[in-house]
Amino acid sequence: MGTRILLADDHGIARAMIRRVIAKRTDWQIVEEASDGADAVAKAYDTCPDLAILDIQMPVLSGIEAAKKILKCCPATVVMAESLHEGKFMQDTLKQAGVRGFVQKMEFATELIPAIEIVLKGGEWFKDREAPQIGEQLESD
């Protein structure tokens, strides 16, 4: 069995988008899905997945609070966050909660797979929107 993933987002469309991206990797499997933070914690408690992908804004319990609880009961689980909004303003809060990476929903198609690969290897994935992106030139060039 490959990497076991818990996916939690209160929007079914977002969960479907993530499922499509993850399906490209035969060694990754979504073993649980949740539509709120409390359900995500309960399902993590039962399965202790290798990776939990949590929407930051969910009903009942936020993704940040869910991350803290999941890491308390499953310390080996790697937690990533996702949101429709940019994460740069919450980066410190996410890191303090134990979150290892963040992907904006609009960037699932291009960033989710490399982000997961990096965090599963022990790295972090937090994009700084103020830094030049690949292919962009610095103004001083």
pLDDT in tens, 91-109: 889 999 999 999 999 999 9
Q: What is the mean pLDDT of the chain?
A: 89
Burial of 57 (0-12, 13-18, 19+ CB in 10 A): middle
Is residue 113 a part of any domain in this protein? Answer: yes
Is residue 131 a part of any domain in this protein? Answer: no
Range of the domain at 53: 3-120
Is residue 139 a part of any domain in this protein? Answer: no
Is residue 130 a part of any domain in this protein? Answer: no
Is residue 79 a part of any domain in this protein? Answer: yes
User: How many domains is the chain partitioned into structurally?
Assistant: 1
The pLDDT, as a whole number, for residue 132 is 35
Whole-angstrom Cα Rg for the chain? 15
Is residue 126 a part of any domain in this protein? Answer: no
pTM of the predicted model as reported, rounded to 2 decimal places: 0.88
Q: What is the CATH number of the domain that holds 9?
A: 3.40.50.2300
Is residue 111 a part of any domain in this protein? Answer: yes
pLDDT over 90 percentage in the chain = 82
pLDDT in tens, 42-53: 999 999 999 999
